[in-house]
Amino acid sequence: MKKIGVIANVKRPNVAEMLERISNWCEKNQVELTFNQEAADFFNSQSSRKIKTKSAPKEDLWKNADLILAMGGDGTMLVTARAVAEHKTPILGINLGGLGFMTQVKTEDLEKSLDRIKEKDFNIEERMVLQASFVHNNHWYALNEVVIEKGGISRLINLHISNNKEFVGSFSADGLIIATPTGSTAHSMSAGGPIVNPKMQAIILSPICPQSLAVRPIIFPAGEIIKIKVETLQKEAILTVDGQITHPIKSGDEIVIQKAGHTVNLITFPERSFFEILRQKLNWGVKPKAGS
C-alpha cells in the first residue's frame, strides 16, 4: 500500500480531526495521500499545514490510490462505491456517526486498522452490484437497491414483472424495491423483505404496500434479467438508485435490472462478522433481558 485516496463527508462531526489523523499516519508511513476535492478544500481551510493536500475529483481517485477510505456513513460508502467500484479499487469504510452498517472501522481504531492493512491483515469481500437501465437508454449502478415508486401521486402504480424466461406476475402497489444482498438490510428490510447474507448472489424484490396480501417479497438468482413495466394513471413515477439518484418514469416505461459486470470490493476484518453487525446495529436475535 503506497497510495491512499479519501472520500469524506465534510458535514460529519470530527471530520477535520480524522483527516488530520489520516494525513499524519500517511506522512509517518511514507504513503501518498489524495483527498477528493471537497475534502481537500475543507482540510486545507482547517489545517495549519503549509503544504496543501493533493486533491482529485472523486471519480478519478482510483487512478492514484491502492485503497480508498470512505469517511462518513453508509451514504458516503454508496457514493464511494459508485465512484471507484468499476475499477476494483478496495474500499474501507470509516464510520463518523449514525448507523454505519457498511462502515467497518470506528474512529478510535483508525490508525490500528491502517496498520493492519499495511501488514496485509485483512480480507477483501466482493459485494454484488445491480445495473438498472431503461430499454435502449443509460444505465446506473446500485450497491444497495433500485426503487420504483409512485412519488408524490396518491394512486397506486401497476407493475408487470418478467424475467428472461417468462412472465412472473402483476400487482398494484406504492412501489417496488429491487435490492442486492448488501441492500437487504436497508430499505428492503423496512418494507418486509428478507435479510440475506451479503456474500450471496441474489436479486431481491420487495413490494411497497401492495394492494393484495398475496403479494410477498421474492428472491431471484443473480444471473436472471428482471424486467419491470410500469403503468400509472398519473404523469410519472420515480426511479431511485441507492437513495441518491432519481429519474422520472413514464407510464409504459420498462426498467431492466440485472447483475452488473463488476463488484464492490470492501476491506473487512475477520473479527467483524455479518451476524455480529446484525446483533450490534439492529439488535437482531438479541434476547431481551428480564426487567429491562
Domain ranges in the chain? Answer: 3-127+263-282, 130-259
Count of other CB atoms within 10 angstroms of residue 127: 21
Confidence tier at 290 by pLDDT (50, 70, 90): low
CATH superfamily of 130-259: Probable inorganic polyphosphate/atp-NAD kinase; domain 2 (2.60.200.30)
Catalytic residue numbers read: 74
> Angle between the 15-28 and 37-46 helix axes, to the nearest 10 degrees?
90
Ramachandran category for residue 74: left, alpha or beta (phi over 0 → left; psi -120 to 50 → alpha): alpha
**pLDDT tens by residue, 23-54:** 999 999 999 999 999 999 898 887 666 567 88
Cross-strand partners of 255: 134, 228
| CATH no., domain 3-127+263-282 | 3.40.50.10330
Rounded-to-integer distance, Cα 38 and Cα 221, Å: 39
Closest CA to 127 of 69, 193, 180, 70: 180
DSSP annotation string for 194-211:
PP--TTS-EEEEEEES-S
Mean pLDDT of the chain: 91
What local confidence, expressed as pLDDT, does residue 240 receive? 96
Region 211-236: mean pLDDT is 92
CB-CB contact of 48 with 24 (8 Å): no
Rounded-to-integer distance, Cα 89 and Cα 80, Å: 10
pTM over 0.85: yes
Rounded-to-integer distance, Cα 23 and Cα 280, Å: 30
Percent of the chain with pLDDT over 90: 73
